[in-house]
């Protein structure tokens, strides 16, 4: 039985979907004004893993991940580049899709764009105003009145009074309370705008996920996911908006402290932060990496393996040393499958002791750390026994996580070529020359060729008169 850690209640809970025949999961996606970074990679890979496991567990799933294609950063970047907003967002949506595909991320079932759901956002704002949860201001903006939602702060563990005490005094604010947040922004000259009952303008960021979540799934649904950085204020605001607009907060819980919580979503899942050399990743620190920059140096499956090797809720420390270690570990698994061809095996929880422990780990809040350990135990046994069936179990279990899906030789040899200056064909030719030298008992030449290949990062493996190779 699957258990998940619910950020709202700060405890693990048995997963019981509202409808066993239709699990509904909404994940906050990317704001498409630049290339995706490592933080985005973690969100994409983590919730791809969650989706894969839910489907492996026979839950019929609809996975929605939105695209924010209008906001302040997008407007500013398009103006800076001298291109239209549509041109900018289309270019980076394509780049996002390419990065996700490289990482083995399966496309969500639905990817709604904010600009395609403006009408739904306006309608939700109208309901919020009618319900006394929001108000139009004299400057043409519409704000959510956070004090009209007594449960505000429950997701993040922040109280309204604490938030108010830490808030800077605003000058000439049109807000009734400094904590109130914008639902609708009045149009500024030269910016895109849509007609609304409050004049031309555009939606605030927070309202889009509430409106699109309701449009996709109705007023209540099972899972809402995203990065830990979205917990406050974005997801906190979503709960306030959705509950305020519908009056429906059916998912009532008691948290660890016995405090009653309410939400339109049953389970809130958040993945941990990415750190770089033990420091927070940020552009100001100069330790900010896009997915594309990382993939210039490391195979995409190594990056996926690195992400899944840590528990999704834990901080993940990125460094070359950690990626190199992940490369070595994944190489060991692929080497096992190279040496012992995997039988075609279908697995379930009760196939054997390895599958039992793998499934138990994944059912404990998606415990990929323990699940990975099972893979390496399997590999060790296969290396000893050369058992094709167990090799098939190894491959099948790894496939559930989106790993070990490639031909082992293709992975180990790095594809058709590499940036090290030696193509696969050149390596094969040098190996043939070495074999000829060995046949002629020209050991000096044989050693020279081996040293040349070693210097180029090529590892030779001689066994039973056959030489195979892999890249370091």
- Secondary structure (DSSP) of 92-116: HHHHHHHHHHHTTPPPPSB--BGGG
Instruction: Point out which residues pair with 276 in neighbouring strands.
Output: 279, 318
Inform me whether the pLDDT recorded for 202 exceeds 60. yes
Least confident of 29-33, 166-170, 301-305, 462-466: 166-170
Cis peptide before 180 (omega within 30 of 0): no
For the chain, how long is the longest CA-to-CA vector? 92
In the Cβ-directed half-sphere of 87, how many Cα atoms lie within 13 Å? 8
pLDDT for position 371? 98
Q: How far apart are CA 234 and CA 242, in angstroms?
A: 12
Residue-wise burial string across 328-354, b where 16 or more C-beta atoms lie within 10 A, e elsewhere: ebbbebbbbbbebebeebebeeebeeb
Q: Considering only residues 431 and 95, tell me which one the structure prediction assigns the higher pLDDT.
A: 95
Q: How far apart are CA 101 and CA 123, in angstroms?
A: 35
Provide the 10 A C-beta neighbour count for residue 186.
20
Average pLDDT, the chain: 91
SS3 162: helix
pLDDT for position 183? 98
User: What's the rounded mean pLDDT across residues 173-195?
Assistant: 92
Rounded to 5°, the CA angle 66-68-74 comes to 165
Contact 392, 337 (CB under 8 A): no
Q: How far apart are CA 189 and CA 194, in angstroms?
A: 13
| DSSP string computed for 294-329 | HHTTS-HHHHHHHHHTS-TTS-EEE-HHHHHHHHHH
Instruction: Point out which residues pair with 280 in neighbouring strands.
Output: 275
User: What's the rounded mean pLDDT across residues 340-368?
Assistant: 96
Eight-state DSSP code of residue 2? -
Lookup result for tokens 């895109």? 192
Q: Which two tokens stand for residue 42?
A: 């973690």
pLDDT for position 418? 45
Strands (E), 147-286: 181-186, 201-203, 221-227, 253-254, 260-261, 265-271, 274-276, 279-280
Alpha carbon 102 to its chain's center: 13
SS3 188: coil
Cis peptide before 48 (omega within 30 of 0): no
Q: How far apart are CA 409 and CA 417, in angstroms?
A: 13
Q: How far apart are CA 41 and CA 11, in angstroms?
A: 26
pLDDT for position 407? 94
Least confident of 68-82, 197-211, 244-258: 244-258
Contact 139, 175 (CB under 8 A): no
What's the pLDDT band for 252 if we cut at 50, 70, 90? low
Strands 458-463 and 466-471: antiparallel
Query: Alpha-carbon torsion 45, 51, 57, 58, what sign?
Result: negative
Inform me whether the pLDDT recorded for 285 exceeds 80. no
User: What's the rounded mean pLDDT across residues 71-96?
Assistant: 96
Provide the 10 A C-beta neighbour count for residue 363.
18
Inform me whether the pLDDT recorded for 256 exceeds 80. no
Q: Which two tokens stand for residue 114?
A: 């904010």
């Amino acid at each position: 039985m699957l258990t998940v850690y619910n950020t709202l209640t700060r405890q693990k809970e048995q997963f019981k979907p509202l409808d066993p025949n239709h699990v509904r999961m909404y994940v906050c996606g990317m704001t498409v004004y630049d290339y995706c970074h490592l933080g985005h990679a973690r969100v994409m890979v983590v919730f791809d893993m969650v989706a894969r496991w839910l489907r492996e567990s026979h839950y019929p799933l609809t996975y929605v991940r939105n695209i924010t294609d209008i906001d302040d950063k997008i407007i500013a970047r398009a103006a800076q580049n001298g291109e239209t907003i549509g041109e900018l967002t289309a270019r980076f949506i394509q780049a996002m899709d390419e990065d996700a595909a490289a990482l083995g991320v399966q496309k969500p079932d639905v990817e709604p764009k904010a600009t395609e759901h403006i009408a739904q956002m306006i309608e939700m704002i109208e309901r919020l105003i009618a319900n006394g949860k929001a108000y139009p201001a004299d400057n043409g903006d519409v704000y959510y009145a956070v004090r009209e939602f007594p449960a505000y702060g429950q997701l993040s563990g922040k109280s309204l009074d604490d938030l108010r005490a830490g808030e800077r005094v605003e000058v000439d604010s049109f807000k009734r309370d400094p904590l109130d947040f914008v639902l609708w922004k009045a149009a500024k000259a030269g910016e895109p705008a849509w007609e609304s009952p409050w004049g031309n303008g555009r939606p605030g960021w927070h309202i889009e996920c509430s409106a699109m979540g309701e449009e996709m799934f109705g007023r209540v649904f099972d899972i809402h996911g995203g990065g830990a950085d979205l917990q406050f204020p974005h997801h906190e605001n979503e709960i306030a908006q959705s509950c305020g607009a519908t009056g429906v907060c059916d998912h009532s819980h008691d948290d660890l402290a016995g405090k009653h919580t309410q939400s339109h979503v049953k389970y809130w899942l958040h993945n941990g932060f990415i750190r770089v050399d033990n420091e927070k990743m940020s552009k100001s620190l100069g330790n900010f990496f896009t997915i594309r920059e990382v993939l210039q140096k490391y195979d995409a499956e190594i990056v996926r393996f690195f992400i899944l090797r840590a528990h999704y809720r834990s901080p993940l420390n990125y460094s070359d040393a950690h990626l190199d270690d992940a490369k070595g570990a994944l190489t060991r698994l692929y080497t096992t499958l190279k040496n012992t061809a995997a039988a075609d095996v279908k697995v379930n929880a009760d196939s054997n002791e390895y599958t039992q422990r793998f499934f138990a780990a994944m059912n404990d809040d998606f415990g990929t750390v323990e699940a990975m350990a099972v893979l390496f135990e399997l590999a060790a046994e296969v290396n000893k026994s050369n058992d094709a069936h167990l090799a098939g179990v190894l491959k099948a279990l790894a496939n559930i996580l989106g790993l070990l899906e490639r031909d082992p030789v293709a992975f180990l040899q790095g594809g058709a070529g590499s940036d090290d200056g030696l193509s696969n064909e050149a390596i094969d030719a040098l190996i043939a020359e070495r074999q000829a030298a060995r046949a002629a008992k020209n050991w000096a030449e044989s050693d020279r060729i081996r040293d040349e290949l070693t210097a180029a990062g090529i590892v030779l493996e001689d066994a039973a008169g056959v030489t195979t190779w892999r890249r370091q």
